[in-house]
Amino acid sequence: MTGDASIADRRITVGILRYRPEQDEAPVVQSYEIPYVDDMSVLQALQYIKDHIDGTLSFRWSCRMAICGSCGMMINGKPQLACQTILRAGNQLPLRIEPLLHFPIERDLVVTVSDFVSKIESISPFIIPKYPRTLAEGEYLQTPTELTRFENFSDCINCMLCYAACPQFGENPDFLGPGALALLQRYNGDSRDGGQAERMKLVHTENGAWSCTAVGYCSEVCPKHVDPANAVNQNKTNSALDFFLRFLPGRGTIERSA
Amino acid sequence: MRRPYLRPIDRHWWAKPPYLAYTLREATGIAIAAYALVLMAGVICLALGRSAYDAWLGFIASPLSLALHVIFLVAMVFHVWTWFAIMPKTMPRLIVGGRYVEPQLITRAGIAVAALASLGLLLVARWVLP
Amino acid sequence: MKRSISPIFWLMFGAGGMLAALFGPALVIITGLAVPTGLGFSPTSMDYAHAIGFARHPLGKLVLLVVISLFAWHGAERIYLTLKDMHLGPKHLLAWLSYGSAGAVTFMTATALLAIGL
């Protein structure tokens, strides 16, 4: 597809929700007609528009191979990565592209990510050692089984599709959300980590695990099979058990990754 | 200049795909609660005496009640199905013999156990009841 | 950081849901379909004499209270969350109505069972 528009004798209409704060009161749909080949991705369609039709169109992208997490947007009503969505694959035409749901729009398809970044930072996203270790003690040893317990949660590329999918985040923007809670479980479930009690304090709150109603759509849209729904809901179990068992003497916070 | 625009959420998201399936799943709770109310009515009528309880029995035998309980049964079966579909999400990854246990396996095992449990109760009731 | 009290209701929702998943279909069949129509069961199994005998027994009381109460709490949690999703009222009102109803069901059932005596 790249560059050679003359090859394509088919054309499609792409409707994009535009928003330019300096001139628009509210977002408005703008349509573009572009040449079309079967194996075009939505990202390539956007790049064609920006390169040949309308240079003012703004959107985030980088790797174009579903690993950087930049190009998340609503494509025909579903949160998807633009680079990974191929036009041939059953998408209805005309194509309708909107910025990720539930986030404030900065411009066109670019949404505000600072709130999400704060949430990621708030869950202590680093190994908190169980006890002080010296370099002389050498590396941590971890079995494949121990790795399997949290590995999928570490695959998150911070694309925020799960937040666009989550209706409870849409209702309550203070909800920590699937991505942050998946990252939380990535650390709580890591055998090297000793910071479960600290992170569970966030889980126990109304904006922690308890805003989730197990819709499960977050895990469906995740391009990396992180399964954030599992991260959140297994922490409901942890949090609920801890709610009652915390009064037992000598009991720390329950973390059932083992 | 920055002037972030937050689109208002769709107030009817719960009635549309992909969330409609979730709402229907949650609606099985209504049937479960309604069945509890029917049973509670029976217990209260039992406490009130023979004539009150006979009235409840009359209702239970009525076509309306039978239709209602068919709806309850459909809802219960749908509940079994969706309950064990979501149950693996509330558990940490199960690792047996060094290998990850797929959630579908847990779901199928749960449904099998539920089928056995209900069947078992039916047989026990058949045996115990006069 | 303020803990949520949701765990209380979630655990009861879970217990009720598991009970309903394991025994719900059989219970509905027995009490609502098979016995009233006499299909596979004698229609007199639930008559006054047998019912009062069951409800007088401590285990019978326990079964009735646990089933009715947990089913009610399970339903209450789901109804509360669904009504909240539907924006049918302020969430504290919806919570009081839903959980309050389940509490009322539990209280009324326990009272009736106590009144039935031994």
pLDDT at C4: 96
pLDDT tens-place string over residues A173-182? 999 999 999 9
pLDDT tens-place string over residues A152-195? 999 999 999 999 999 999 999 999 999 999 999 999 999 999 99
CATH superfamily of A114-245: Alpha-helical ferredoxin (1.10.1060.10)
pLDDT tens-place string over residues A110-146? 999 999 999 999 999 999 999 999 999 999 999 998 9
Are A127 and A187 a contacting pair, CB within 8 Å?
Answer: yes
Subunit contact C2:A205, Cβ cutoff 8 A? yes
Q: Which of A107, A125, A139, A106 is nearest to A202 (CA)?
A: A125
Facing residue for A21 by CB, picked from B3, B13, B89: B3
Fold of C6-116: 3 helical TM bundles of succinate and fumarate reductases (1.20.1300)
C92 in contact with A at a CB cutoff of 8 Å?
Answer: no
| Closest-CA distance of chain C to residue A104, Å | 21
What percentage of chain A exceeds 70 in pLDDT? 92
Which residue intervals of chain A bear CATH 1.10.1060.10?
114-245
Facing residue for C33 by CB, picked from B31, B69, B120: B69
Q: What are phi and psi of A12, to 5 degrees?
A: -125, 160
Cβ neighbourhood burial of A126 (10 Å; 0-12, 13-18, 19+): exposed
Q: What is the mean pLDDT of residues A16-38?
A: 95
Residue B76 with chain C: CB contacts under 8 Å = 20, 24-25, 28
Q: What type of residue sits at position A17?
A: L
Which residue intervals of chain A bear CATH 3.10.20.30?
4-111
A174 in contact with C at a CB cutoff of 8 Å?
Answer: no
Q: What is the mean pLDDT of residues C89-114?
A: 97
Residue A239 with chain C: CB contacts under 8 Å = 7
ipTM for the predicted complex: 0.96
Q: What are phi and psi of A169, to 5 degrees?
A: -70, -35
* Distance (Å, whole) CA B89 – CA A235: 10
Q: Where are the domains of chain B?
A: 14-128
| Closest-CA distance of chain A to residue C101, Å | 21
What percentage of chain C exceeds 90 in pLDDT? 96
| Closest-CA distance of chain B to residue C92, Å | 19
Fold of B14-128: 3 helical TM bundles of succinate and fumarate reductases (1.20.1300)
* Distance (Å, whole) CA B15 – CA A162: 20
Are B80 and C43 a contacting pair, CB within 8 Å?
Answer: no
Local confidence band at A257 (pLDDT 50, 70, 90 cut-offs): very low
Query: In chain A, what's the furthest Cα-to-Cα distance?
Result: 76
pLDDT at B3: 97
Provide the sign of the torsion angle of the four alpha carbons B61, B62, B67, B69, taken in this order: negative
Taking the CA atoms of residue B95, residue B101, residue B107 and residue B108 in that order, the dihedral angle to the nearest 10 degrees is -120
Hey, is C98 helix, strand or coil? helix
pLDDT at B23: 97
Say if residue A4's pLDDT is above 70.
no
Local confidence band at C118 (pLDDT 50, 70, 90 cut-offs): confident
pLDDT tens-place string over residues C15-24? 999 999 999 9
Span of A3-7, A33-37, B59-63, C96-100 with lowest mean pLDDT: A3-7
Which mean pLDDT values do the consecutive 10-residue runs of chain B (130 residues) have? 95 96 97 98 96 97 97 98 96 84 95 97 90
Fold of A4-111: Ubiquitin-like (UB roll) (3.10.20)
Say if residue A256's pLDDT is above 50.
no
- What are chain C's partners, defined as 3 or more CB pairs within 8 angstroms? A, B
Span of A93-102, A246-255, B107-116 with lowest mean pLDDT: A246-255
Say if residue A38's pLDDT is above 90.
no
Residue of B nearest to A148 (CA): B100
